[in-house]
Structure 1
Amino acid sequence: MASKPERLLRGSEAPLSASFLELFFDLAFVLTLSQLAEHLLHDLTLAGALRTALLLTGVWTLWVTTTWFADWYDPESAAVRGLLIAAALASLLAGVAIPQAFDGRGMLFAGAYVALHVGRSVVTAATLRGHPRQRRALRILSWYTLSAVPWLAGGFWADGRVPLWVLALSIDLTGPRFGWPTPMLGRAERKELHLVGEHFAERYQQIMIIALGELVLVAGLSYADTRLHLPETAAFLLVFVTAVLIGLLYVTPAGQRLGSAIEHADPARLGVITGHLHLVMIAGLVVTAVGAELSIAHPTATSDTTAALVILGGPTLFLVGRILFSLTIHRRISWPRVAALFVLGGVAAALRPPLLALSAVAVVVVLVVVVLDRAGILSYRQVRNPD
């Protein structure tokens, strides 16, 4: 009979598909993405974009660390179930705090973040007492305890919130890449960080569907608030087509190879890098949702620099993440996607057409990339493996 610590760890017989509570946890991310889009929409400045990016990185860290947690531990364990429910609650509270995270709700955001990371690490370290994997949990606990100081200090001190939270996130993003090196505990070895490729790839696909769902939801709600005239209808349809095309781009072809790549790679490298690149792609979808709201509400309005950057910047961000994703998975660069970035940037810099026309340009460029990918007409350049 397995010991209590052994029962906490994911066994070879554990299902590879996401558990019900993992999917339940994802539901909290729906609110978070919606709040982030609204946060950016109401502060379309460079400073507003950077603040939104900071919050997005924080909540993304909640999601990706919870996914690592669910990959390492048995989803049928009572402790794991309880911690997944706690993760959903923490994500919801962080989402509630987002609109005023830099005003009166900074402590709510930081408190939810710290409580999840530190609390989860304490529970796993205590449950794994006497097991070799306890050292991994203690290393993680040490790093999140360290980053909790600037997180909570920023929550208390509004004037220093941004630099303190940047410092805290830097700590949290650095730890996994180097195996959470800790005095007297060393750093985690590769075998301690092993990830189940099929499970992890499925989780990324599910969160991308959540992000695409947020884009479709924003489009539908924005369209419902219009007069449903032809320009608004055209703008709505363009956003819907954009969502479909982005979904196709994600799964072709590197998205289909992610599972096997993670299974045989160094998790501290590929596992962390793919997390960062999915953050870039999801940031692109958040910006695309803001652009959708602008274009559907005012399709015939002449674009200014801000509107152009938002409407074209969303697909551009996604394509940047997708290019780097392909490069990471199979060491190749898709030149059609690179060319698409130049087209999007050129249009944004040179033209000021109606918002509807900008949306159409974005759709055409993404459509061309999808067609070239599907047809196999790709000018790839093989990149030497640095390993």
Structure 2
Amino acid sequence: MSSFPARAVVDLSAIRANVRSLAAHAPTAQVMAVVKADAYGHGLLPVSRAALEAGATWLGVAQLGEALELRAAGITARVLTWLYAPGAPLDQAVAADVDLSVAAPWALDEVVASARAVGRTARVHLKVDTGLGRNGLTPDQLPAVLDAALRAQAEGAVQVVGLWSHLAFADEPDHPTVHAQAEVFAEALALVEGRGARLEVRHLANSAATLTAPALHYDLVRPGIAVYGLSPVPQLGGPADFGLTPAMTFEAQLVTVKPVPAGQGVSYAHAYVTPGETMLGVVPVGYADGVPRHASGSAQRPGGPLLVGGRRLSVAGRVCMDQVVVDLGPGAREREGDRVELFGTGASGGPTAQDWADVAGTISYEIVTRVGGRVPRVHVDPEHAEPVAAPQVEGAAR
């Protein structure tokens, strides 16, 4: 039993619905649900299973450990992992039939060595840096690495099954870099296939491109944030505009409600001072739990939004490590134990992760992913009518 006075409730039915909606946006492609970073903070295994139940045929993770955790849990769908350092235990990935990205010449050498060591063919996806300037083979490096990969394929050490890249400005669909990167990718694809590689999948589209750039869908799309019901292009439309529903609701309980006089400084450095007699409430989550300190509030700038008793209020004063304060107003009727919603679906005027992102000057991806590990994840599944792995929170919020 958890005694933590907050929780992140994850709706697995929303995850399934989002995956189905994304598949409808890309009807000619398979769907890889990107579940890196503990499924963007939503829970790796429950989300992965829900995504596969909804029709995703691939799972994508950044870290090798995440891929191995999926395999250890009995998940047999295709899994791609793409971020590892020299000396990583790639032999475990090869033995577990995990697809590996090759983004540098040294990586191919280590994949081949691992495949030989375990006596199993490694499935590799060559990653090309088409303009993001991050991980990936440069177009100049690609020919030599491709030739080496095809030699290793001839001996049975590897199989080149994919070519992929990542967009820098997919959240701005008309940005010239999108078209430029698409051209570089097409050139790389022509080279790879021209030299005899028989690819299973070619993939370039992330969430934003899945929703806005059908020409870039190829054989496989890789939605991440959209799987969780958040819009990758908020300037173009919110979740509902793309048939998505936010899956996470972050909620807590009031632990203190008390009257204070006018002129009461609130939280560290008294960035907020009560303008009149009022009631203050303490919400027991802070930056250690993922509440952005940049969402602190002052008299000049409202803090992060909160839904309390059906009223939309905001953080008053500095966000602390373990708590925030809300000015409930004079005559407030809320009491200790009452529910506070930090973000959720946005229904009934409640705040969303995007609202917090706007206040904190960041993106919704960071808001959901940074929810701290000590916050219990409660997975609910209205489609199946039974809670899934739902820990009880002592003094459950009302």
Higher strand share: 2
Computing the radius of gyration from Cα coordinates, the structure with the larger value is: 2
